Chains A and B, each alone.
Chain A
Amino acid sequence: MTALYEVSPPTQPTSSHPPVLHMTDIVKRFGPVEVLHGVHLEVRAGEVHALLGENGAGKSTLMKILAGVQPATSGELRLGGEAVRFRSVADAARHGVRMLFQELSLAPDLSAEENLYLGDMSPLISDRELRDQAAAHLHSLGLDLPLGVPVRTLSVGERQMLAIARALVGEPRVLVFDEPTAPLTAPEIEKLFEFIAQIRGRGVAVVYISHHLGEVFRIADRVTVLRDGRNIATSDVASTTQQQIIEWMVGRHVEVQSRVQPVSGDPVWQIEARPTGASPLHLELRAGEVIGLVGIVGSGRGAALRSLVGIGGESLWNGQPVLSLEDALRRGIGILPEDRKAEGAVLDGTIRENIALSSLPAVSRAGVVQSGPERQLVQQWIEQLHIRPAQPEYLTGALSGGNQQKVVLGRVLAAQPKVLILEEPTRGVDIGAREEIYEVIAGLAAAGLPIILSSGDAQEVLGLATRILVFRGGEVVSELHAPVTLEEVIAHVTGARTH
């Protein structure tokens, strides 16, 4: 499919607003690799502009240039008609450009209030004043977050809401959200959309990156699609369709489908999870069965899942105790953790080193890693998961978010687990790649692997799970069997329905 560059018709409502941001002919090279090949972006005051594209398309790279994280190799940046060049994030923030980064970028040991004003804290402010100021800011946003404790102790969703609140400090002119909803649950997403509607109303220009087209159609006015570092299209959202956007992104037609497979036979795993301070949970898993866990943050879903691998509790697998991750992995329980940056990938390592990391005994002789078998194993998973770039020696930290996720999944699968636990397996993964990952998961299940899938994305669970456990208030409140509808699942998750 050939690239087309559409200019939006000048008759839509937001076009009456003047453009505040022009990025023209932006080129970005990392060493010899050119990632952006002359990209354009124009954002108007008071519009929500969705920036879309597959993993590695260059969305984050472009926005990091805007936010002063890294300079462009060439190209022009104009803010309110004036050519600018930001030397740092602080510099960009002073010009009213703020960004919520794709990967959480809070200081984990500082409190919420310290994180909020980090960078623009006046040196003489007292703890009291700081806390009052923070409380007022959070209150104005309708957020209720614990103050005075290290943000490390907050849930991923709470941390994300804090990061959002931080981006809203001061009076920004341009606000960039890079996949803000990935770690959020449905009610938190609603809250975020309210904020965005508010600031849009105040004339702030919002750039919104997401892999969820549903969100784009709810909140965005215009959309720009990138593919492989080039503009493919810019269009008013109202005058396009999901299918059209997907085709722009992927360059081909993608089928979204359900992959639930019937299972039979006796359970192969009897699992007893005992999360500390919550009610125990009994699970039975059949060969090839995909069990979905759903529930909002704080519903006990995450705690139950983690106690399965000995974190924050313990578990019994067919009567065998699992007290630590090491136990779990030794018993063939593979887990894909939700926080890929902190828990999943070794960012300083290459793709090869990451994928082989859980399979070292299998590719070693007398403790010495055999490069032949290792390379073969790594190559296999790079191909199977379509990791881009398909270079085993590429630094994992330099991959796009979605590709990092695939590398971690590759590591888990390379170890040939006997049972697979997936925690938010497609967070930050683009539509095409997501379907590929679903295909892999369904394939593993079809081959008899039992899978526990925990996700905040009900749609995802619906498309894969034969059985869905709904968590609320620290325990399982209902068990749903496929086929169920999305509405039913959401009704159970939110407590609107109980049977």
Chain B
Amino acid sequence: MSQAHARTDRSPAWRQLLSRYGLWLVFAALLAIASLLSDRFLTVPNFLNIARQTSVNALLAFGMTAVILKGGIDLSVGSILAVVGVIAVFLDQAGVPFVGTVLLSLAAGGLIGSLNGVMVAYGKIAPFIVTLAALTIWRGVTLVLTDGSPLSKLSPAFQAFGNVSPLGVPSPVWLALSALLATWFLLRRTGWGRGIYALGSSEDAARFAGLPVDRLKVSVYAFSGLMSALAALLLTSRLNSAQPTAGSGFELDAIAAVVVGGTSLAGGRGGVIGTLLGALIIGVLNNAMNLLDVNAFYQQIVKGLVIVGALLFERFLSSRSA
């Protein structure tokens, strides 16, 4: 249904969540297969584990969703994650209180992201190129700063950050859920979000509507940088160190989560709720294959096939209901 397409994209979060039933089916099928194949899969600790592992990718993917909706792409999220991790550990080791470390790291992530945005908006360079360059630049900066070896020894507060479980739920899950709500709210309830969708659908139309197109572009990459910084704090705390190679290749999982979640790479259509499902599907898949001791080489092949399969399946369902 073409009208339903508009509706499902714009309706309340819970209704959007239900409307992606094709993806839910894929997700359920994955759960069923995994629990048949491994008796360690269907356990509470393992589920908490999946949630924890998924949260870093989910954070990156939420930022990525905004960028892709705007009609762009951000390949630099993994490198921004790494460099912000290093900055955070530097701050921590310099004795900055943890709250300060968090705020400054988020600011750093936002700033680095906005540099991408400036190049895209004012330098008029394609987002793919800008963020590809940023990917290698910030990875390089990370390697220079760390001299290629991990930075460890975190303050107790930093160590606790990603490893506590308030109310029995791991802190990464709390973080990812808050980020989900915040992103959903920003995209669906604010003028900023309206601008992002309009821009992704037609840049000219957005300009004729009088939207501050260039500033919107800068802000969306800044938002993605901010999400990368949040992921950096989480991952650094979980690993108890800043790794020079942290986050490498993460951009691909983030993009995969967005695309599996039904957001159009052409921009303008989709949303962050689908991205959550996409990230969960990828998370469960990774977890199940690890439990089943699938050879790491085969894991990649299976993952690629599942991504394509999920997309085909959903397309099939939506074309039949049209």
Contacts and interface: CB of A to CB of B under 8 A. Distances in A.
Contacts of B210: 325-326, 328-330, 358, 415
A349 interface: yes
27 contacts: A31-B3, A31-B322, A33-B3, A325-B207, A326-B211, A326-B212, A329-B209, A329-B210, A337-B204, A339-B204, A343-B207, A344-B205, A345-B202, A345-B205, A346-B197, A346-B268, A347-B202, A348-B197, A348-B268, A349-B197, A353-B10, A353-B194, A360-B194, A364-B191, A368-B191, A394-B3, A395-B6
Interface residues of A, number: 38
A304 B101 CA distance: 54
Size band of the B side of the interface? 20 to 34
B139 interface: no
Given A330-B210, A342-B202, 17 more contacts: A32-B3, A325-B207, A325-B210, A328-B210, A335-B208, A337-B204, A342-B205, A346-B206, A348-B201, A353-B197, A358-B209, A360-B191, A364-B191, A368-B190, A369-B189, A369-B194, A395-B5
A342 B204 contact: yes
Contacts of B7: 393
Contacts of B208: 325, 335, 337, 343-344
Contacts of A224: none
B91 to A, nearest CB: 30
Interface string B167-203: 0000000000000000000000111101101101110
B198 A395 contact: no
A1 to B, nearest CB: 29
Given A343-B204, A357-B194, A350 B6 contact: yes
Interface string B280-319: 0000000000000000000000000000000000000000
Count chain A CB atoms within 10 A of each CB in B195, B197, B269 and give the residue with the most: B197
A8 to B, nearest CB: 36
Nearest to A311: B207
Interface in B199-258: 200-202, 204-213
Given A326-B212, A369-B194, A31 B2 contact: yes
Count chain A CB atoms within 10 A of each CB in B209, B211, B212 and give the residue with the most: B209
A24 B2 CA distance: 25
Contacts of A411: 209
Nearest to B207: A325
Interface string A355-367: 0111011001001
Tell me if A's interface is mostly helix, strand, loop or mixed: mixed
A367 B190 contact: yes
Interface in A392-411: 393-395, 398, 411
B4 interface: yes
Interface string B1-22: 1111111001000000000000
Contacts of B190: 364, 367-369
B78 to A, nearest CB: 29
B2 A398 contact: yes
Contacts of B191: 360-361, 364, 367-369
Contacts of B205: 342-346
A346 B1 contact: no
Contacts of B195: 360
Interface of B: 1-7, 10, 189-192, 194-195, 197-198, 200-202, 204-213, 268-269, 321-322
A394 B202 contact: no
A398 B7 CA distance: 13
Nearest to A335: B208
Tell me if B's interface is mostly helix, strand, loop or mixed: helix
Contacts of B206: 346, 357
Nearest to A30: B2
Contacts of B200: 348
B211 A398 contact: no
A495 B212 CA distance: 42
Contacts of A360: 191, 194-195
Interface string A26-67: 000011110000000000000000000000000000000000
B192 A367 contact: yes
Contacts of A356: 194
A10 to B, nearest CB: 41
Contacts of A358: 209-210
A394 B210 CA distance: 23
A394 B204 CA distance: 21
A174 B152 CA distance: 75
A357 B209 contact: yes
Interface in A95-154: none
Contacts of A344: 205, 208
Which 7 interchain pairs have the tightest Cβ spacing?
A329-B210, A31-B1, A395-B6, A360-B191, A348-B201, A348-B268, A357-B209
B214 to A, nearest CB: 9
Contact of A395 (B3, B192, B204, B322): B3
A356 B198 CA distance: 11
Contact of A31 (B4, B189, B198, B201): B4
B85 to A, nearest CB: 31
A393 B194 contact: no
Contact of B3 (A367, A369, A393): A393
A347 B56 CA distance: 34
Contacts of A367: 190-192
A361 B191 CA distance: 7
A229 to B, nearest CB: 16
A115 B190 CA distance: 41
Contacts of B6: 350, 393-395, 398
A52 to B, nearest CB: 25
Contacts of B189: 368-369
A330 B211 CA distance: 10
Contacts of B269: 348
Interface string A310-334: 0000000000000001101110000
Contacts of A32: 1, 3
A398 B204 contact: no
A343 B194 CA distance: 17
A398 B195 CA distance: 21
Given A31-B322, A393-B7, A347 B198 contact: no
B211 A349 contact: no
Interface string A403-430: 0000000010001000000000000000
Contact of A349 (B3, B192, B201): B201
A141 to B, nearest CB: 30
B201 A347 contact: yes
